[in-house]
Structure 1
Amino acid sequence: MPDERPDDQTARLVRAAQRGDTLAMAELLDLLAPYVGRVCAPIALDQGADAAQDALVAVFKSLRALKDPAALHGWVRAIAVREAVRTAHRAARTVPADLSALPARGDPQLSADISDVLDRLSPEHRAVLMLRDVEGLDERTAAALLGVRTGTVKSRLHRARDTFRKAWTS
């Protein structure tokens, strides 16, 4: 429908996908996949693609439970963050940390490589940094997405920024 607003188009797609319309599901997947990838990548790092895939599977398995199609992006973001943190934890348990690969203190590459600094943060700290500093969400919204209290988000954010700052300036 040419006169339809993007929000109306998305709501129409969600309702059709909830009814089992496979073309609508494919279109919805095309719409959501890049967004989910952008949410998962900074949290799950090298496993970002796996986290995004797990998140999209969870989204489509639970799509019928979504009551308000207008809440789609927030609902999807919550699932993506949860799956990214879970995937990052699972990867951390299976791959032992190789501390010899970390740059030595004072190494000029340490200051130049942001992703290296982010890689060393915990998934929870990467998640809170991404939600607050990249997505621009407030503490209350970030807390709801992460399933923790607002005070926990504030303390994690403080620790994450402090850890990042120390690693960045060393």
Structure 2
Amino acid sequence: MPWQPPTWEEIVREHSARVYRLAYRLTGNKQDAEDLTQETFIRVFRSLSSYTPGTFEGWLHRITTNLFLDGARRKKRIRMEAMGDDDGHVADTGDFGRPERGYEHANLDQDVQKALDALRPEYRAAVVLCDIEGLSYEEIAVTLGVKLGTVRSRIHRARAQLRDALEHLAPTRGGA
């Protein structure tokens, strides 16, 4: 019997929380995460007939991450043309989406999310896929369409930048 793709309802029910979580970590705020999640499922809907059986979750990660990176490049280009150096970014301190995701979102400290937001998009994507989503370096390379060495380099640089950005939170040694 040939492979039958899952129904649209099954895809949304089974994968929407995972896609939203990844989108939130990549974008850093609820509104952009919702938009990215919606764009991802639109792309999935349009491309489902051409999907070749494999790791469906990997395919979703790849679509979500590529849409994020495309959007980040587009925003950078628009910002450079229209706004100069001021990107007008305002940190989102509102709620974190639906209640079932509240604990998870609330437990990624605002300082950590702010530090993630400060990373270049390609570094942020690599470190989020590795350290938050739990993908292997090999899976990240496939998802991002880059070489394994590039993944290692991006994750190393991202972690170094995160360490620098978050060092003020580390307890001081030897008392004040």
What is the TM-score with the length of structure 1 in the denominator?
A: 0.72
CA contact (8 A) 1:51 1:84 kept: yes
The whole-number CA distance in structure 2 between the counterparts of 1:73 and 1:115 is 24
Larger RCO, structure (CA 8 Å, separation 6 or more): 2
Equivalenced residues, count: 142
Shift of 1:30: 2.6
User: What's the Cα RMSD here?
Assistant: 2.6
Aligned position for 2:8: 25
Tell me what 1:161 maps to: 159
- Counterpart CA distance in 2 for 1:101 and 1:27 is 36
Asked whether the equivalents of residues 114 and 168 of structure 1 are also in contact (C-alpha less than 8 Å), the reply is yes
2:107 is equivalent to residue 123 of structure 1 = no
1:3-152 equivalences under 5 Å are 15=4, 17=6, 24-46=7-29, 47-68=32-53, 71-95=55-79, 96=83, 97-98=85-86, 113-152=111-150
| Worse-superposed segment, 42-51 or 113-122 | 42-51
* Percent pairwise identity: 31
Q: Is the 8 A contact 2:5 2:48 kept in 1?
A: no
CA drift of 1:76 comes to 1.3
Instruction: Give the 4+ runs in structure 1 shifted more than 3 A.
Output: 92-102
1:163 positional shift? 0.7
Structure 1 residues 48 and 88: CA distance shift in structure 2, 3 A? farther
1:99: Cα distance to partner? 7.8
Distance 1:15-1:121 versus aligned 2 partners, 3 A rule = same
Shift of 1:53: 1.4
Q: Which amino acid aligns with 1:61?
A: R
- Indicate if the aligned counterparts of 1:117 and 1:167 stay in contact, CA closer than 8 A: yes
The structure whose residues are more often helix, as a share, is 1
> What CA distance in whole angstroms lies between the structure 1 residues aligned with 2:38 and 2:16?
8
State the SS of the aligned residue for 2:134: coil
Contact 1:117–1:168 (CA<8 Å) still a contact in 2? yes
Post-superposition shift, 1:60?
1.0
Structure 2: segments with no counterpart, 5+ residues: 91-108, 169-176
Where does residue 102 of structure 2 map in the other structure? none
